[in-house]
A and B are shown apart, each in its own frame.
Chain A
Amino acid sequence: MAREFIDGSTAIVRGALEAGCDFFAGYPITPASPILQMMMSELPARGGVAIQGEDEIASIGMCIGATLGGARAMTATSGPGISLYSENIGLAIIGEVPLVIVDVQRLGPATGGATTVGQGDVQFVRWGTAGGYPIIALAPSNVEECYTLTLRAFDLAERFRCPVFLLTDKDLNLTMRSVNPSSLTGVTVRHRNSRTGDEGSQYRYQPPDVVPPIGRYGDEVIRFTGSSHNEDAVITKHAATIGALNEHLAAKIDDHLHEIESVDLDPQVGATTLIVAYGVTAGAARQAVRQARRDGRKVSSLVVHSVWPVPEREIKSALDGVSRVVVPELNLGQYRREIERLAHGRQVVGVNRVDGKLITPDQVIEAIS
């Protein structure tokens, strides 16, 4: 059998190109720079545009502008860059702009460990802009998923007209792995739901969960604003309209969780312990499960791909018959909070590291008993 030897960055770029990404803007930052560099070499020859912005704020701003011009845009950075993206993430939410944002996590806070792995942004991507409205975040746990979930991210961005995060980390992006090429296929990305001209405004708040088609500058007069606006994108102080806008921003995602929820459940009959993991730490969890079962112990695992919105239905179903939940993550227990609120009466234990080293399968096994 033939295999490829590639890292997560390469898989993400290939996934983005396969998804039809034709605009990329980014600013150099370890460990996200390889994505920027690959996009700078790949996009021009394909008729797209890749540009290094003067900073992270400019980079995401250019992506938002380009999307209104009809582009499929992606940007990539790490925690410090997400901090600078913050305000524009909110702009993409209120303006209903499809956009893929890759957060290649490194150890924080601040500059932290530039070349060191971490998972400290899992709550940050969810709550990192003013207002607290929903976003979507997907977390690959290996190179194959870096590819498939990048495609999914583009698909969901178009479906819901919102920013979608791909939450990875230094190790996923920079570690090379042998992969089966046939695993780098199988996700179809829907076309942009573009206006044909007779749908009324490109904004619509009723029914609240419906996502209207998006317009493109040049085809017709298109308006856009980051202020609370009516369906014609004109700034308004009309309370009922503002309420409808903001409830729409939440409902279009919250009412369609089944289209977003994505997990990899590995159940074992009779197991009373469940490991819930995401991202790079899921690798240690999978290996721990194999080892534990080989030693005759019963354990189930749930790898969460769609970390936001929390796939509550899938998690609750996996919790059935379980009395102990182990949540390994490279932070001090951020996603464990989400599990705890669903795990009524069950024991929920974290396995946590913030020293820049990966959680090992042995550490997970130790927490199973």
Chain B
Amino acid sequence: MSTAIVPLATYRNETAYPFCPGCGHGSILDNLNEALLRLALDPKRVVLVSDIGCAGLSDQYFSTSAFHGLHGRSLTYAAGIKLARPELEVIVIMGDGGTGIGGAHFLNAARRNVGMTLLVFNNLNFGMTGGQHSTTTPTGAITSTTPGGNLERPLDICATAAVNGAAYVYRGTNFDPDLTDRIVEGIETPGFSILDIWELCTAYFGPSNRFGKRSLEDTQQRLGLGTGVLEHREVAEYASTYRREAADQLAGSRLAPQLLESEFMSTLDRPCRLLVMGSAGGKVRSAARLVAEAAIRSGLHATQSDDYPITVKTGHSVAELILSPEPIDFTGIDRPDLMVILTEDGLAKAHPYLASMTAPNRVIMLPDLADVDTGATIEVLDLDPLPSRVARTELALVALTAAVVQQNVVSAEALLATASRQGRYAEKNLAAVTAGLELIR
């Protein structure tokens, strides 16, 4: 396909505008056409993005690329196009309705500064659906949904965009003689440009409010809304900045497969469902993961699922492990074979399981926890032989080691070897595993 730029005599196609007599849309589009001619942009590299409302029909009268989407969402499609293809020129056409319903997108477009130019065709009401009020309808104005006069304060589109960082902000009317210049300026400014262009809706807002050309400027003045170029600043265009920053990032994935070789023996002949019941900050998940990896290194299948409150630094932390010589299809645990209880938080979560456990099941607990009611065999670990160098935060791995080695689930050898391969945690983990082994010697 040719990539040569073909300058056009016009960016309009042969189709006549469909707009009502006196409607401002056609004149804004004529100014846009003039701006495109002046910039001599390649029509296939210009994407007109629009959404719903009479202004949303605009793209059909242009020979550029076009995207006509859902009400108020233009800026999201435009951002996606620009992020994927920073070299494209993305021009967005929205009405005041779309700017209102897409308010979150508008705010974030201003803040993020993805390179696109937004033309708001602001006729102060919903012209396509019967003249209802919009977020920019002036206070006191009569519309089909404000029959007694609008009680709401209108949104100041430009001040909102400017205060949130937009690169170029302009307010005017479709009658402004310099509108083409301003559109050119907006397109040429890197980052997010927004032009709030007031115009007449001759079907609804105009007749209902005896609103003429003069009233547009008078109302802007009455409401204290600034006009002209209100902001023009240098910003970092997001899409190209993203590409630049990404290029500086180190290549290499964090997702590269971490293979666990099967190198140890296991005597486990049936699945062991193991629950570790502790508290946030107690390294429950990492201790359980170490045991799971040791089991996998022993040729076993393993699953691990963790449970903790959304306030992650407080409350319980529970790890569920299934270690099995057979493939594991079902990862849930309704009755554990082995349970390690580390803290009162963990014990509180253990009660429903404890009630279902019977004699062949085992519960291994740290000392000084409340009494438990269960049919399982209970063993309270005696921590006195522990060397003083083992910190309390390592107790999860200490107790878990004691439990799984004593029950012949995973061998001491496999745990020691797995602990020694944990990089910067190796030393602490080795100490904890060694301490756990001492407890059951």
Contact in complex: A51, B329 (CB < 8 Å): no
Contacts of A235 in B (CB 8 A): 57, 60, 68
Given contacts A181-B257, A283-B330, contact A218 B80 (CB under 8 A): no
Asked if A292 lies at the interface with its beta carbon under 8 angstroms from chain B, I say no
Cβ contact within 8 Å between B76 and A23: no
Please report the C-alpha to C-alpha distance between residue A290 and residue B1 in the assembled complex, in whole angstroms: 58
Docked complex Cα distance between A160 and B292 (Å): 42
**Is A69 at the interface (CB under 8 A from chain B)?**
yes
Contact residues of B: prevailing secondary structure: mixed
A175 B305 Cβ-Cβ under 8 A: yes
Q: Is the CB of A175 within 8 A of B79?
A: no
B256 → chain A closest CB, angstroms: 10
Measured CB to CB, the nearest residue on chain B to A63 is B80
> Does A358 lie at the interface of the complex (its beta carbon under 8 Å from any beta carbon of B)?
yes
Residues A213-254 near B (CB distance < 8 A): 217-227, 233-235
Picked from B252, B258, B261, B307, the residue with its CB within 8 Å of the CB of A45 is B252
- The interface stretch among A3-11, A131-139, A307-315, A319-327 is A3-11
**Interface: B287 (CB within 8 A):** no
B330 and A361 form a contact (CB under 8 A): yes
Do A3 and B108 touch across chains, with their CB atoms under 8 A apart? no
Encoded as 1 (CB less than 8 Å from any A CB) or 0, chain B from 50 to 89 comes to 0000000101100111111110010111111101110110
Contact of A2 among B88, B260, B289, B302 (CB under 8 A): B260
B434 within 8 A of A: no
Q: Could you tell me how many residues of chain A have their Cβ less than 8 Å away from some Cβ of chain B?
A: 79
Contact of A272 with B by CB under 8 A: no
Q: How far is the CA of A360 from the CA of B334 in the complex (A)?
A: 8
Of B69, B262, B292, which contacts A5 at CB under 8 A? B292
Partner of A360, one of B251, B262, B296, B330: B330
The residue that B104 contacts in the complex, of A10, A58, A64, A69, with Cβ under 8 A, is: A58
B68 touches A175 (CB 8 A): no
Q: Known contacts A13-B255, A217-B88: does B329 contact A171 (CB below 8 Å)?
A: no
Task: Decide if B69 touches A23 in the complex (CB within 8 Å).
Answer: no
Q: Is B43 among interface residues, defined by CB-CB distance under 8 A? A: yes
The answer to whether B296 and A23 have CB atoms under 8 Å apart is no
Pick from A55, A71, A358: contact of B84, CB under 8 Å:
A71
Q: Does B375 contact A (CB under 8 A)?
A: no
Q: Is the CB of A68 within 8 A of B67?
A: yes
Interface hits, A19-48 → B, CB 8 Å:
23, 25, 30, 38, 41-42, 44-47
- Determine how close the nearest CB of chain A comes to the CB of B353; give it in whole angstroms: 12
Q: Mark B289-311, 1 if CB is under 8 A from A, else 0.
A: 10011001001111111110010
Residues of A within 8 A of B63 (CB): 221
Known: A42-B253, A88-B70, A361-B330. A221 touches B76 (CB 8 A): no
Contacts known (A5-B292, A226-B68); A220 close to B1, Cβ less than 8 A: yes
Given known pairs A69-B81, A175-B331, the reply for A218 and B87 (CB within 8 Å) is yes
Tell me if B9 counts as interface (CB < 8 A to partner A).
Answer: no
B246 and A54 contacting across the interface, CB-CB below 8 Å: no
Q: When the two chains form their complex, are residues A45 and B246 in contact, meaning their CB atoms are under 8 A apart? A: yes
Q: Is there a chain A Cβ closer than 8 Å to B391's Cβ?
A: no
Question: What distance in Å separates the Cβ of B65 from its nearest Cβ neighbour in chain A?
Answer: 5
B332 touches A223 (CB 8 A): no
> Would you call A176 and B258 a contact (CB within 8 A)?
no
A 170-206 binary contact with B (CB < 8 Å = 1; else 0): 0100111110010000000000000011000000000
Given contacts A2-B262, A178-B303, A221-B63, contact A44 B249 (CB under 8 A): yes
Contacts A3-B296, A176-B302, A224-B67 known; list 20 others, CB within 8 Å.
A3-B301, A4-B260, A25-B80, A49-B242, A51-B242, A53-B76, A62-B79, A63-B80, A65-B77, A66-B81, A68-B81, A71-B80, A114-B310, A217-B45, A218-B85, A218-B87, A220-B44, A222-B44, A235-B60, A283-B329
Residue pairs across A and B with Cβ atoms less than 8 A apart, 11 shown, are A42-B253, A65-B67, A65-B84, A171-B305, A176-B303, A217-B47, A218-B85, A218-B88, A225-B67, A225-B68, A362-B334
What residues make up the interface of B, taking CB atoms closer than 8 Å to A?
Answer: 1, 43-45, 47, 49, 57, 59-60, 63-70, 73, 75-81, 83-85, 87-88, 104-105, 107-108, 242, 245-246, 249-255, 257-262, 289, 292-293, 296, 299-307, 310, 328-332, 334
